[in-house]
Each structure stands twice: as structure tokens, then as C-alpha cells.
Amino acid sequence: MRAQIGTLIIATNVIQLANGFFTTFISLRVAAANFTATVAGLILSSYFAGFTLGALRGAGIIERFGHIRAYAVFAGSVVAATAAMPILTGPISWVILRAIVGFGCAGVFVTTESWLNAKAQPSERGRVFSFYMVGTFVALAVGQLLIGRIEFEGSKPFHAIEALFALALVMVSTTRAEPPLVTATEKLPYSELARAAPVAVIGCVVKGLVSSSFYTLVPAWMQSEGVARESIALLMLTAVLGGLTFQMPVGRLSDRFDRRIVLTALSLGLTATAITVVFLPHSAPFLLPPAALLGGFIATLYPVSVAMAHDSMPADQVVAVSGGLLLSSGLGSVMGPMIGTGIMAGLGIDGLFYFIAAASTLLAVVVTVASLFIAAPRHLRRTFEILAPEAASLAHDPLGSSGDIPVDSV
């Protein structure tokens, strides 16, 4: 069973490697194409729109077709859309194709996570998903290294991405792991979630805004400044690894103290770092340390917000809560590149970091004001999870089917 679960995790890590490369690569290609700021923002945002839709609708497709066939549909869609991108190079085509890629990626993650959730023993589920998410961070980081090693022009990068997705599809299609029985998921009106956990919803929106704008627009700006692709890859690698490094300590703080205090501290830390970047020389050596901090603060906004929401909602609605929060993050992710490109058109890269600082400051103010009027909810046991960027993280129950996860799972 462990070998079968390992196959699913490795296949998804292969996809995340491709995804980490694709996210930075497409940002550079869009910048090189000299699209207008509006068009560039639409292309970069379309992935997140498709991802959000896929994460919310993926469960329904799995219920209808089963896990293996659904996985084939999602991964095959990504391969087809990626293969079409060097052929259909118009902006409208790229908006549609990137949305299909996002939809397929989300579907792959939902399929994998629900499969792991069903097959992992309750006593091992926390460790399995921790390993899964750490592997996701590492794969995303390694994907950045491909930026400086693959010929940028032409269709070769697209072919490399196709090959990685196809490899993952072969691995899962030939696995001997028995697919789980399909069960219907519970529903939760978004308005109910917003009333029960407003701070968490706002935290997820802000995370989407700052994460998508940072990871899509900073590489494009560096390229426009003539920075070598190897340096761009190193900066983005540092940011992703910063996100991984922050997960454990922030998770432990979040489980020991009022999560609102932790979220406020993360927001203010993000604000301070973004403002500091404005006054630093805009060259790779000076930007590496703050990139690690930015990646760390950004990557932990979402899991802390998710944990806050689970503190306020019944345990039997955990999957529905995660889906609603993913929608919040997705909405922010769609808006981030569009707002960011508009700001950068007038204020340059400094405008982007002012935008990140303003969004995180707003979150800190909202959390502080809410703390004055709303009592802190009681912590549920081990509700903080390692949540990586570009992962759906909605198809599993962090409390496990037994309601109990080992202490060493975080």
C-alpha cells in the first residue's frame, strides 16, 4: 500500500515540477511578447481562474467518472492545452489555453488528494499529507531551476512540460493502487462561510492577491531589466524555499497561540519586507534575502487562514470549508496579476511592492479590528496543515476520519 501511495505522490511531484517551471516560464514569455498590460494580466490571471473552477468542480467529475479516468481527463487536458500554446500564439488563445491548464492541474490535485485521503490509514494520514506537501514545495522549487537550463525561445519548453505531465499520467494509469469508492461531498453556502469566518475569508483573498502578483510579475520585471534567467530562477527558487521553511515554525505558533495574532504578525512582516524591497538596490544579490521572507510570509497566510476557519466551523464541514476558502483565494489570484500589471504600468516594480504592502496592511487592520469584537475560537486539534502554492488542498479532511491526527503530523 505504501508503494502505491508513493506512486501517486511521486506522479504529483512530477506535475508540480512542471508547474513550477511553467508558472515562471509563461510569465517571461508573456513579457517577451510585448502584450499590453491588460492583455498580459488576463493571460497570467486565466490560469488561476481555471484552477479555481477545476478545484471546485473536480469532485463532481471524479464522482461521475471515477478517479483513474478523471485523472486521465485532467492530465490529458493539460497536455493538449500546453501542446497547442506554441501553435495558437494569439492572446485570446493563450487566455483560454492557460485557463484549461489551470483547470486540469486543479483536477489532478483534487483527484490525488482524495485518493490519498481514502487509502491512507487514519494513523498515517497526517504524515502522508505532510510528506505530500513538502514534496510539492521541493518540486516547485526544482522547477525554477529549469528556467536557466532549457532553451527559452521556440517550443522546447512546452514540449518539456508536456513530457512531464504525460509521464505522471502513465505512472498513475499503470499503478496497481485500487481507486477508492466515490462519495458525494457536502455543500456549504459561501455566505454562511463568510459570516462564520470573515477574517479567514479575507485572509485567503489577500493571499491570492499577493501570491499571484508576486510569482507572475516579478520574473517578468526582472527579465525586462536584463537580469539573466539563471538569476531569475534563483530568486524564485529562494522564494519557494522560504515558503517551505516558514511552514513548520508558523504552524507550531499557530497551534499554540491565538491564530489572529499570528496572522497579524505575518501580515505586518509581509508589509515591512515589501516596503524594504522598495528601498533596496533592485539587483538579484540584494533581493535574495527579502525574497525568502516574502515567500515565507505569503505561503503561510493561507494555511493560517484555513486553520482559523476550521476553528469556527463544525468538523463535518471541513471539506466544504476548504472549498469555500479556495474560492476566496482563487478570486484574489485572478485579480492579482490584472491589478499588478496596471500598477506596474504606471509605477514600475516599486508599485507592485507597494500594492503587496497595502494588501497585507489591510489584512492586519481587519484582523486587529475583528479581535476587538469577536472572541477567539477554541482551537481544534492539529488543524494547521502544510499547504503549498499551486495545490488544491481541499480533498482531504485534516482531522482524519477518526477525528484524530498524530501530533507529529505537522
| Domains present along the chain, CATH in parentheses | 2-178+188-400 (1.20.1250.20)
pLDDT attached to residue 279: 92
CB 94 within 8 A of CB 102: no
Q: What is the DSSP letter of 147?
A: G
Point out the least confidently predicted range of 169-178, 251-260, 280-289.
169-178
Question: Mean pLDDT across the chain, nearest whole number?
Answer: 83
pLDDT attached to residue 383: 52
Point out the least confidently predicted range of 79-88, 89-98, 337-346, 370-379.
370-379
Confidence grade of residue 402 (pLDDT, cut at 50, 70, 90): very low
SS3 label, residue 80: helix
CB 164 within 8 A of CB 18: yes
CA distances from 304 to 71, 198, 200, 221, 370 (A): 29, 13, 8, 30, 16
CA 263, distance to chain mean position in Å, is 18
Angle ∠(155,9,300) on CA atoms, nearest 5? 85
- Extract the C-alpha cell encoding 296: 515565507
- Extract the C-alpha cell encoding 29: 514569455
pLDDT attached to residue 5: 75
What predicted TM-score, i.e. pTM, was given to this entire model?
Answer: 0.83
pLDDT score of 371 more than 50: yes
Average pLDDT over residues 240-267: 89
Q: Tell me the pLDDT tens digit for each residue of 203-225.
A: 999 999 999 999 999 998 888 88
